[in-house]
């Protein structure tokens, strides 16, 4: 029996733990720190920790065979380098590769250098220069849309879509002058790609890539794709637009040059490379962003379609032998959906009040429904809200239409004070 440790506390980590736990060869799945859902699940144990050294002691004392890193922050801080140095098997990119997500400027220069299809961009360290660029861009054409991005990690809040000069100036000032995301040293202003957005995630050991089914995230807070950007309000898989020529173009013009770039720069290693793609008017996928981990809620969605056990894939990737098992990885040719239940006020200030959640048991018993906790805590057997995104309710079906019906039926059973969710997740695909 193999014990596994998952780092993180969201819906993605609960989904990973749940999938790993279904493997009879996996013993205990530890989550550090985990959440209310992982605390309640049988065979999964939450552990507290204070720093990397403490984690290492816990890995050793619990005979953990593999560490899986969920979020980007510990990767950017070098957790994978730390475990490698300690001789502990770890699935997650090293700090050098994590820069593809932790520095947008590094990622954009990488894409440019290796000819990865991507929208054009400019980077700025001085507000006046950004303002001058925006003035030129907005005076040149009507209907201009641009993305102002913090160079650094910002928990999903560092990417701002702007459609007027005033919005562009405000976003640039927020990130560069008010330093909303941290250091505020640099911003990137990127051209918009007007077509659909698709996510493709690849499990890799640095040499081989296993693609998960494509998916589509719903980043905006409100129905119809309007309102502020969030960490993701829901997703479905597969994305119908990712087929035929689009998929071919992705493989030739995105995946191939990315993989070549990783090799030449000495990057790569075990991890998940997330391609946030925008489809151009001619159907060409362009990389809007790389992430260096599973998406959330994309993980909760695509893992529902994985028929094979997850542990052997992650272990093989961490030992640089993914090619040996690549051909055996099976994905169901069905559809999956995830709808996020959040608290009113998310992603802005939502206070720290907690509310009991009702109906989880009933909803979780419905056919082909699985509920992952995104932000919950458990006390005396009651599950409480504990964050902005609270639950990831998922379902699978023979079509997106069927999966949607099941997921919204399950959500009807769940209730907590201030519960909010989008009712149009996956509607584009039916």
Closest to ligand GLY by CB, 360 vs 390, is 390
d(CA 151, CA 220): 21
Which residue has tokens 């009807």? 412
Closest to ligand GLY by CB, 89 vs 230, is 230
187 close to 149: Cβ distance less than 8 angstroms:
yes
In angstroms, what is the minimal distance from the CB of 202 to ligand GLY? Answer: 14
In angstroms, what is the minimal distance from the CB of 295 to ligand GLY? Answer: 3
Closest to ligand GLY by CB, 65 vs 276, is 276
In angstroms, what is the minimal distance from the CB of 64 to ligand GLY? Answer: 25
Q: Does 296 bind ligand GLY (CB under 6 A)?
A: yes
Q: Is the dihedral of CA 111, 71, 19, 416 positive or negative?
A: negative
Closest to ligand GLY by CB, 13 vs 217, is 217
In angstroms, what is the minimal distance from the CB of 274 to ligand GLY? Answer: 7
| Piece of 28-36, 117-125, 134-142, 293-301 that binds ligand GLY (CB under 6 A) | 293-301
In angstroms, what is the minimal distance from the CB of 285 to ligand GLY? Answer: 17
Q: Does 45 bind ligand GLY (CB under 6 A)?
A: no
Q: Does 295 bind ligand GLY (CB under 6 A)?
A: yes
d(CA 34, CA 118): 35
| Cα angle, residue 270 at apex, residues 264 and 276 outer, rounded to 5° | 75
Closest to ligand GLY by CB, 89 vs 215, is 215
By CB under 6 A, how many residues form the interface with ligand GLY?
6
In angstroms, what is the minimal distance from the CB of 237 to ligand GLY? Answer: 12
In angstroms, what is the minimal distance from the CB of 207 to ligand GLY? Answer: 25
Closest to ligand GLY by CB, 105 vs 291, is 291
Closest to ligand GLY by CB, 26 vs 254, is 254
d(CA 290, CA 353): 34
| Piece of 83-91, 177-185, 292-300, 334-342 that binds ligand GLY (CB under 6 A) | 292-300
| Piece of 1-9, 14-22, 49-57, 290-298 that binds ligand GLY (CB under 6 A) | 290-298
Closest to ligand GLY by CB, 18 vs 296, is 296
Q: Candidates 36, 158, 232, 285: give the one binding ligand GLY (CB under 6 A).
A: 232
Interface map 192-231 toward ligand GLY (x if CB under 6 A):
-------------------------x--------------
In angstroms, what is the minimal distance from the CB of 126 to ligand GLY? Answer: 29
Q: Does 291 bind ligand GLY (CB under 6 A)?
A: yes
Q: Does 102 bind ligand GLY (CB under 6 A)?
A: no
In angstroms, what is the minimal distance from the CB of 47 to ligand GLY? Answer: 24
| Cα angle, residue 216 at apex, residues 213 and 220 outer, rounded to 5° | 155
d(CA 38, CA 4): 13
Answer whether the bond into residue 33 is a cis peptide, omega within 30°. yes
| Piece of 258-266, 289-297, 348-356, 379-387 that binds ligand GLY (CB under 6 A) | 289-297
Query: Which parts of 302-361 interact with ligand GLY (CB under 6 A)?
Result: none
Contact residues: ligand GLY, CB under 6 A: 217, 232, 291, 295-296, 298
């Amino acid at each position: 029996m193999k014990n596994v440790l998952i780092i993180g506390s969201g819906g993605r980590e609960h989904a990973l733990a749940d999938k790993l736990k279904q493997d009879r060869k996996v013993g205990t799945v530890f989550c550090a720190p985990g959440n209310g859902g992982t605390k309640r699940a049988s065979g999964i144990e939450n552990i507290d920790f204070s720093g990397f050294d403490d984690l290492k002691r816990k890995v050793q004392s619990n005979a953990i065979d593999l560490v899986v890193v969920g979020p980007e922050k510990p990767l950017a801080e070098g957790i994978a380098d730390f475990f490698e140095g300690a001789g502990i098997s770890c699935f997650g990119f090293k700090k050098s590769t994590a820069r593809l997500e932790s520095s947008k400027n590094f990622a954009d220069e990488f894409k440019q250098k290796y000819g990865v299809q991507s929208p054009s961009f400019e980077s700025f360290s001085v507000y006046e220069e950004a303002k001058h660029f925006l003035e030129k861009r907005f005076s040149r054409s009507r209907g201009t849309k641009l993305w102002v991005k913090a160079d650094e990690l910002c928990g999903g809040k560092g990417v701002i879509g702007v459609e007027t000069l005033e919005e562009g100036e405000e976003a640039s000032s927020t990130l560069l002058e008010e330093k909303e995301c941290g250091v505020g040293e640099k911003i990137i202003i990127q051209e918009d790609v007007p077509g659909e957005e698709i996510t493709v995630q690849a499990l890799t050991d640095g040499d081989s890539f296993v693609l998960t089914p494509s998916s589509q995230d719903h980043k905006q807070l409100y129905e119809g794709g309007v309102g502020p950007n969030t960490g993701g309000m829901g997703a479905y898989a597969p994305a119908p637009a990712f087929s035929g020529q689009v998929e071919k173009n992705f493989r030739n013009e995105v995946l191939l040059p990315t993989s070549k770039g990783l090799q030449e720069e000495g990057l790569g290693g075990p991890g998940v490379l997330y391609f946030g793609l925008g489809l151009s008017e001619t159907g060409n996928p362009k990389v809007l962003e790389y992430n260096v981990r599973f998406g959330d809620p994309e993980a909760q969605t695509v893992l529902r379609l994985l028929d094979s056990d997850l542990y052997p894939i992650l272990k093989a990737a961490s030992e640089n032998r993914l090619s040996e098992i690549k051909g055996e990885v099976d994905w169901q040719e069905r559809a999956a959906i995830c709808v996020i239940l959040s608290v009113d006020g998310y992603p802005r200030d939502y206070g720290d009040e907690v509310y009991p959640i009702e109906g989880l048991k009933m909803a979780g018993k419905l056919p082909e429904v699985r509920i992952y906790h995104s932000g919950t805590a458990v006390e005396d057997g009651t599950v409480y809200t504990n964050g902005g995104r609270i639950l990831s309710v998922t379902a699978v079906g023979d079509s997106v239409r069927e999966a949607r019906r099941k997921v919204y039926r399950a959500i009807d059973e769940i209730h907590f004070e201030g519960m909010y969710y989008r009712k149009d997740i996956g509607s584009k695909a039916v």
